[in-house]
Structure 1
Amino acid sequence: MTKLLGPVTVLLLALVTAGPAAAAEGAGIDGASLSLAWGIPFAGMLLSIAIIPLVAGHFWHHHYGKVALFWGLAVLVPFVLLLGTGVTVYEVTHAALLEYIPFIILLFTLFTISGGILVTGNLHGSPAVNTALLAIGTVLASLIGTTGASMVLIRPLLRANDGRRHNVHTVVFFIFLVSNIGGSLTPLGDPPLFLGFLKGVSFFWTTTHLFHDTAVVVILLLAAYYLLDRWFHAREEARPPKFDPTPDTEGIGLRGLANLPLLAGVVAAILMSALWKPDIEFNIAGTHLPLPSVARDLILLGLAAVSIRITPAFIRERNGFDWEPIREVAKLFAAIFLTIIPVIAILKAGADGALAPLVALVTDANGGPVNAGYFWMTGILSGFLDNAPTYLVFFNLAGGDAQALMTTHAVTLEAISAGAVFMGALTYIGNAPNFMVLAIAKSRGVKMPSFFGYMAWSGIFLLPCFALLTFLYFR
């Protein structure tokens, strides 16, 4: 665990040693004065995530933290030299305290607690059973997060299908539904929505405003999966049965039940931070940090510590649990949240900033939002870059005022939220659980498609669903 936030520590040390932290109150960057060159580190970081694992997998596995540190310093050093220590301290502190740290604490807590829950036994992967597991995982994703639901259910799903010859499609649809689309109904579900919650979006806003979008896509995908799995299953029935390596010696059940109240505690902590308004806050380098946010993060860390303490070691061992996935996410996102700072500042400048052409693509002649543009631009970038920072970019491009977006421009916020969550399923790099599920499936012998092979699956099954959503809700 000591290596979890290595690059973060280095970045903070570099910042502190740069000079006295004399950040003025609200002394942020003037985005209108920044050129597009400030976005190079952000683009470089995201392209590194997309390309280096494919062309130099061994290097990436051993040095991704150093790559993240390089791109983080590519922003941090020019900030200090050109904009001054005060502005740098304010911007980095603001991003760390209000966005990155709460984001990674929630992911870490859900990852830790869900890793202590073991589904035992050997289900037999018939089309009905597999479809039911996907449906259950889709519902769970909004309750315990796409990370939590993916880690709890991917291993039972793989065991249920390890006696079948064709199981790639099952893992692909699992990534579609459980690792992405199912997390659309609460801030617990997917990182972009939690970032929106931190920005002021009400906890149950997505539940009410994205339910119809989610229902349409989930019903279509479950139906498509069931028909596809029946076709594969029928082909297998005509051949001699394959040896099932998972014996039926243990009944279906759950181990690690003591972790279930801890998941309830996560939900309670999030709700507490939304409902408790004591009007007490801490001013740290010009950033106002509310007491409920501090209390929420401390409670979440406490729940994770309790899970580590009370979960028997054999449960995590049977789950194949280790810290590397969350360590990788923590290091990469530290750099992403840092390098995105100037990009967000430019977008906030609107028509006065260097990204004015981008503003024009999602703005009509009267200055109003083009909702279909927000849906597709947020979505496509979420699939190829990363859905959490992409959500932030377009949230701020739409004004960044949560109250206005939840009311006057509710459809715009719906389009941004749906695009970020749903289209994170377009590629392996769109959402953190995609990586984790891919790694687990490959370790269990599933011959997962390549990066572009997976995109062929998502293009065939997801793009028509998203086109239908555009016609129904975002015209």
Structure 2
Amino acid sequence: MNLKSFSRKIKYFLAPLFVLLLSTAAFAAEEGASHGIDGSDLSLLWVIPFAGILLSIALFPLFAEEFWHHHFGKISGFWAALLIIPMIVQFGFDKTLYEVLHAYLLEYFPFIILLFALFTISGGVRIKGYMRGTPEVNTGLLLLGTILASWMGTTGAAMLLIRPMLRANEWREKKVHMVVFFIFLVANVGGSLTPLGDPPLFLGFLQGVDFFWTTTNLFVEMSFVVVILLLVYYFWDRYLFNKEKHNEPKSEGSEAFGLEGSFNLLLLGGVVGAVLFSGLADLGEFTVYYVHVTYQNLIRDLTLLLLSWLSWHYTSKESRAANGFNWFPIQEVGKLFAGIFITIIAPIAMLKAANNGEGALQFVNNAVFNSSGDPINAMFFWITGTLSAFLDNAPTYLVFFNAAGGDAQLLMNQLTSTLVAISSGAVFFGAVTYIGNAPNFMVKSIAEQSGVEMPSFGGYMLWSVGILVPIYILVTLIFI
């Protein structure tokens, strides 16, 4: 793929953004527009588009795989339209436009740009040489990815290591369990220790939570989950390894072990710096139809695109080809989450209304406080977690952060256990579904391109619920 093709990929994700930004002056000139919809006015019927896109992701690959592969973007757009059109009819064009712009300018575009940068840059790093996929090597790779996830993001760590792990185990007969545990550990739980690891923790950082608060307060809980998962994985992999014939290829050892595209690691450092800059700087803001966009976030996103271009331009195309790099995983995530971020507008609005004791989801808020108004930490953990598994975990974290008072100093000190419950629930439960955290889908896509027959949406949940839920019950009983 040449530079022109690379620029087309960027335009694919960003063309709507630039159109909106060029329209800022016209939008700003309009006065008196209402801001957003009231979630207390919404019935449970408004959740149908979101449920529909989830069911599509779950069922189409199972019953109409070829159709889904070629038309998943259209299906995502259909469910988005099924929410937007009734919103225009009931609430008017102004409120609907505000909600869509808010979701895309403040959530979807920053989200997909960060993923695009991490995907492009980490895809330029190639670990050369042959690693024999023994249970010991595989467990070591999972541990390494888990450690890296908190410092280079779950997406960066997952994209860096999933291909080497798949190559090391290309000759193995059973590989699904490897990818599933990779999603559990590297794409989710490993991102628990810093705001760089997972988007909800970064939102907490922006709300005033200290950068290293999660490092000190979630370390024990994360380590507990990681140790159990690594032990389960090791003995499972050892059992399967002992049953296999070990017909591994003999030519793999011809390439010397090493690292290609190592300058991309510096670019990953630039990604970290850009994200930190956006959280610490305050350069003012401008408005797009009453949606407040900060200049530091715009600078961050432009910097991430520049870093992506540098990675694409200066990384050997032969090295990327040998790494199995292609654009399909990020295209799949981009198209599906473009619909998901629209369809979650209604559920998120309803959850916000529930914080005030109103609306169809009021029962959710009532479940996290007792009759005296004190937080029930176990319920914060499980409800934040369950919703994070199906909704985007970043806005879900923010909803329950505010439900618990929204005061970072209070939550970090007097209500430490409550903030631990919210934070760990948002991060840990991202592993329960393919859509719980964006890297999950990319790892699944890369694995399928490598010949691994990954389970369907529901099939994956049989793995995740069977393995993770008992561990999270122990976390609740011991820590929460």
Is TM (by shorter chain) over 0.5? Answer: yes
1:270 matched to which residue of 2? Answer: 275
Q: How far apart, CA to CA, are the structure 2 residues paired with 1:371 and 1:197? A: 21
The 4+ residue runs of structure 1 with deviation greater than 6 A are 7-14
Which of the residues 330, 334, 338 maps onto 2:338? 334
2:4 matched to which residue of 1? Answer: none
Instruction: Please report how far the alpha carbon of residue 411 of structure 1 lies from its aligned counterpart in structure 2 after TM superposition.
Output: 2.8
Q: Structure 1: any 5+ residue segments left out of the alignment?
A: none
Instruction: Please report how far the alpha carbon of residue 95 of structure 1 lies from its aligned counterpart in structure 2 after TM superposition.
Output: 2.3
| TM-aligned CA distance change 1:329 to 1:4, over 3 Å | farther
| Mapping for residues 111-190 of structure 1, pairs under 5 Å | 111-190=119-198
| Mapping for residues 311-390 of structure 1, pairs under 5 Å | 311-350=315-354, 351-384=357-390, 387-388=393-394, 390=396
Task: State yes or no: 1:437 paired with 2:443.
Answer: yes
Which of the residues 258, 267, 283 maps onto 2:263? 258
Contact 1:72 1:335 in 2 (8 A): yes
Q: How far apart, CA to CA, are the structure 1 residues paired with 2:76 and 2:447? A: 26
Q: How far apart, CA to CA, are the structure 1 residues paired with 2:325 and 2:31? A: 42
| Mapping for residues 22-101 of structure 1, pairs under 5 Å | 22=30, 24=32, 27-101=35-109
Q: How far apart, CA to CA, are the structure 1 residues paired with 2:182 and 2:442? A: 12
Task: State yes or no: 1:307 paired with 2:311.
Answer: yes
Contact 2:153 2:191 in 1 (8 A): yes
1:289 matched to which residue of 2? Answer: 293
Task: State yes or no: 1:425 paired with 2:419.
Answer: no
Q: How far apart, CA to CA, are the structure 2 residues paired with 1:342 and 1:464? A: 31
Q: How far apart, CA to CA, are the structure 2 residues paired with 1:11 and 1:270? A: 19
Instruction: Please report how far the alpha carbon of residue 8 of structure 1 lies from its aligned counterpart in structure 2 after TM superposition.
Output: 8.3
Instruction: Please report how far the alpha carbon of residue 11 of structure 1 lies from its aligned counterpart in structure 2 after TM superposition.
Output: 11
Which of the residues 201, 209, 221 maps onto 1:193? 201
Q: How far apart, CA to CA, are the structure 2 residues paired with 1:49 and 1:451? A: 7
Helix, strand or coil: the match of 1:465? Answer: helix
Q: How far apart, CA to CA, are the structure 2 residues paired with 1:268 and 1:54? A: 41
**Number of corresponding residues:** 468
2:422 matched to which residue of 1? Answer: 416
Aligned amino acid, residue 302 of structure 1: L
Aligned amino acid, residue 58 of structure 2: A
Contact 2:145 2:157 in 1 (8 A): yes
Q: How far apart, CA to CA, are the structure 2 residues paired with 1:12 and 1:66? A: 22
Contact 1:47 1:385 in 2 (8 A): no
| TM-score where L is the length of structure 2 | 0.87
Helix, strand or coil: the match of 1:125? Answer: coil
CA displacement, residues 263-283 of structure 1 (integer Å, 9 cap, x when unaligned): 0011111111222234x2213
Q: How far apart, CA to CA, are the structure 2 residues paired with 1:77 and 1:229? A: 49
Instruction: Please report how far the alpha carbon of residue 325 of structure 1 lies from its aligned counterpart in structure 2 after TM superposition.
Output: 1.4
| TM-aligned CA distance change 1:246 to 1:197, over 3 Å | farther
Q: How far apart, CA to CA, are the structure 1 residues paired with 2:320 and 2:450? A: 16
| TM-aligned CA distance change 1:52 to 1:382, over 3 Å | farther
1:249 matched to which residue of 2? Answer: 254
Aligned amino acid, residue 228 of structure 1: W
Instruction: Please report how far the alpha carbon of residue 311 of structure 1 lies from its aligned counterpart in structure 2 after TM superposition.
Output: 0.9
| TM-aligned CA distance change 1:270 to 1:246, over 3 Å | farther
| TM-aligned CA distance change 1:4 to 1:412, over 3 Å | farther
CA displacement, residues 11-49 of structure 1 (integer Å, 9 cap, x when unaligned): 9989x9xx9773648723222233223222222222222
Moved more, 256-265 or 337-346: 337-346
Instruction: Please report how far the alpha carbon of residue 248 of structure 1 lies from its aligned counterpart in structure 2 after TM superposition.
Output: 0.4
Aligned amino acid, residue 381 of structure 2: F
| TM-aligned CA distance change 1:10 to 1:114, over 3 Å | closer
CA displacement, residues 354-410 of structure 1 (integer Å, 9 cap, x when unaligned): 211122222211223222122222323434555455445544554556565445544
| TM-score where L is the length of structure 1 | 0.88
Identity of aligned residues (%): 55
Aligned amino acid, residue 121 of structure 1: G
Helix, strand or coil: the match of 1:352? Answer: coil
Moved more, 402-411 or 308-317: 402-411
Contact 1:269 1:300 in 2 (8 A): yes
| TM-aligned CA distance change 1:288 to 1:9, over 3 Å | same
Helix, strand or coil: the match of 1:247? Answer: helix
Q: How far apart, CA to CA, are the structure 1 residues paired with 2:18 and 2:62? A: 30
